[in-house]
Amino acid sequence: MVYFNFFKLSIFFLETALLFFLFFLFFNILFQVVGADIGENVTIGSRLEIGNVAPIIQNIDIESGTINLNPNTTKLVNCSAIIIDYNLDSDIYNVTARLFDNSFTYGSQDDNNSHYTNNSCSINTAYGDENTALATCLFNVWYYANAGTWNCTVTAKDLSNNSVNESNTTDVLPLLALSVPSYIDYGTVNATQVSNENMTNISNVGNVMFNLSLKGYGYSLNDNLAMNCTLGNIKNISVEHEKYNVTASNPGELNLDQADSVYKNLSSSSIVNDFNLDYRSDEDVNEAFNSTYWRIYVPLGVAGSCQGNIIFGAIQSAAS
């Protein structure tokens, strides 16, 4: 019948179409597996996704050279580093640094003599191009920080917690510095008498042990005077009448002979005295001071008010 033949014909066409579809699908898959091209030479593309790249630290600079400390206070020391991050400089989220005496280690405990920490260095992303930043790590370094070779180690972290560190070294220079009161006040002393003992403390405000040099003058250097007075027929006290002891106190009233036996005479020329005053090591209490003891003899011929000058000098001790 016509209806039956049409049905069989429809089934034939469906089977044929399905067969062609299956052949097409097979060759399409085969084509994709073999490549985008077929021939004697075949070129195909390649693809890669790169993960986060750790920063790179360049050019660590410490105070543009050596570190010169400031007497009796801190020195603001700058340890800076150029940091490159090829994922853009905005990927740098934290920079830290340690500044320490090179005879210690990165992980040593912070100490004003030997180790300083900055856990939040400033990051300037406006520096350089889009991949470059400038990190500035500041440290308030105390005057009694050890002289010698110091290390600055900088660590940079990115947003993926990748980190890198680099270091550089420099020298903290020796600092010879002392601190003394503004004047020595002997009070009121009658002519031909020796003053009471004055105790004057000398502080080491540097970072090396020192001995003490002393000399005095009245008007000008090398004038062989201790003081100039406003009244009297002489008006000057000779330099040898001012006396000192840098090791021991001798309290009580003394006459001139007794004073000469236990004190040294001041001179117009510098005299170096063994003092061996070490620099400070205690962060809470300043123990870096020592006492000196002074008297003056008032001869006949002077009166009124007297003034003079004493030059205290720090000379690095061989023991330091």
What are the structural domains of the chain? 56-172 (2.60.40.1930), 178-316 (2.60.40)
What local confidence, expressed as pLDDT, does residue 181 receive?
Answer: 96
- Confidence grade of residue 8 (pLDDT, cut at 50, 70, 90): low
Q: Is the pLDDT of residue 270 over 90?
A: yes
pLDDT (tens digit per residue) in 183-240: 999 999 999 999 999 999 999 999 999 999 999 999 999 999 999 999 999 999 999 9
Give the DSSP H/E element, type plus range, for residue 201. Answer: strand 198-204
Q: Is the pLDDT of residue 9 over 60?
A: no
Q: Is the pLDDT of residue 129 over 60?
A: yes
Q: Kindly report the number of other CB atoms within 10 A of residue 70's CB atom.
A: 15
Cα 131 to Cα 81, 95, 137, 234, 269: the distances in Å are 14, 15, 19, 79, 63
What local confidence, expressed as pLDDT, does residue 286 receive?
Answer: 93
Using alpha carbons only, give the angle 222, 226, 230 rounded to the nearest 5 degrees: 115
